[in-house]
Structure formats: structure tokens, C-alpha cells
Amino acid sequence: MADVAVILGSDSDLPRIKECFSILEEFGVPFEVRVSSAHRTPDETKEWARGLRARGVRVVIAAAGGAAHLPGVLAAYTTLPVIGIPIETALAGGMDSILSILQMPSGIPVGTMPAGRAGGANAALYAVAMLAIADGALAAKLEDYRKKLARGVMEKNEKLQAAGYREYIRSMESKK
């Protein structure tokens, strides 16, 4: 049984949100993945959304680009929390997708993540945080994850301080 349902408007979006899957796996959160379109398969999308709660799903993550109606359509058919991931497009780096997901009418909220790589990662982490409200073990894993992030920043600063900023920049550029 999946705690999180991830739905994408197109299979071409799968690689764009791969960090979402990696993070859910890292935290041991069971999830399902589906491709369905708010525009091309509206009936199937509606029926899938209406059955989420009965299947035990607790959080929905929906990725869509362009008009990006998928997260809003899902939010109209379920009272579960819906997190929208705007997919980057050629038009202003995905600003069209961001605004389509962000500008939901009052009463039908959708949490909106950034476009790009951070969107998938943050959507998964936000879902984990929601689930951790009622799961102490998951909350502890999230706390450890954040400590690991902090350690990484401190280690980078130590290297910067030891090398000086010019040498540190050179070492970063040589890794590219």
C-alpha cells in the first residue's frame, strides 16, 4: 500500500523529477507512480483521484508542465493534500507552469514547489514532513537528513576556509 501517489502528465517528466523518487526511497516511504493527463485522459484521472483515500494514499504529488492543470484537477477530486511540481518549459523556464499551479482558487489549495530539480526533491521532502507528523520514526529520519545537510555545508566551509576562496573556486571549476 502506497502512502504517497506520484502522478505525471507525461512520461517525459519522469527524469525531471527523479530526485522525488530517490528521496521517497531513501526515507522508506511506499509510493506509486502513474502517468495520466488532466486533458487527454480526464475520466481516468478523475477516477484514479477519487480512489486514492480508499487505497490508503495520504499525500499526492503531481508534476505537470505548460498549462499544468493536473495538480489542480486532482485537488478538485480529493481532499488529500496535493503537492504540485511545475515542470520547466521553454517559456520562461517554467514560469507558466509555476503560475498555473500556484494560482488556485480559494478553497482548493495545492502546495507549489519550484520548477527544476529542486521541485521533485522538495515535493518528496514536504510529503515526508507531512507523514512524519504521525510517525515518530520518520520524523527522526527527517531530523537526521537535515543534520546531514548541515554537516555538508559545514564541511564545505571548512574546505573554503583552508584553501581560500580563489583556490576553492578553481577546484570547483576543475570538477566541471
Give the DSSP per-residue string, 94-156. Answer: GHHHHHHHH-PPTTS--EEPPSSHHHHHHHHHHHHHHHHTT-HHHHHHHHHHHHHHHHHHHHH
User: What end-to-end distance do the CA atoms of the chain give, in Å?
Assistant: 41
pLDDT at 10 over 90: yes
pLDDT at 135 over 90: yes
pTM of structure: 0.93
Quick check: 77 and 42 in contact, CB under 8 A? no
Residues 6+ apart with CB under 8 A from 24: 4, 6, 31, 124, 127, 128
Task: Kindly report, residue by residue over 33-87, the tens digit of the pLDDT.
Answer: 999 999 999 999 999 999 999 999 999 999 999 889 999 999 999 999 999 999 9
Nearest to 111, CA basis, from 49, 62, 53: 62
- Measured in degrees and rounded to the nearest 5, phi and psi for residue 58 equal -120, -20
pLDDT at 157: 96
Confidence class for position 92, pLDDT limits 50, 70, 90: confident
Work out the percent of the chain whose per-residue pLDDT is above 90: 91
pLDDT at 109 over 90: yes
Give the integer Cα–Cα distance in Å for 141 and 146.
9
pLDDT at 94: 86
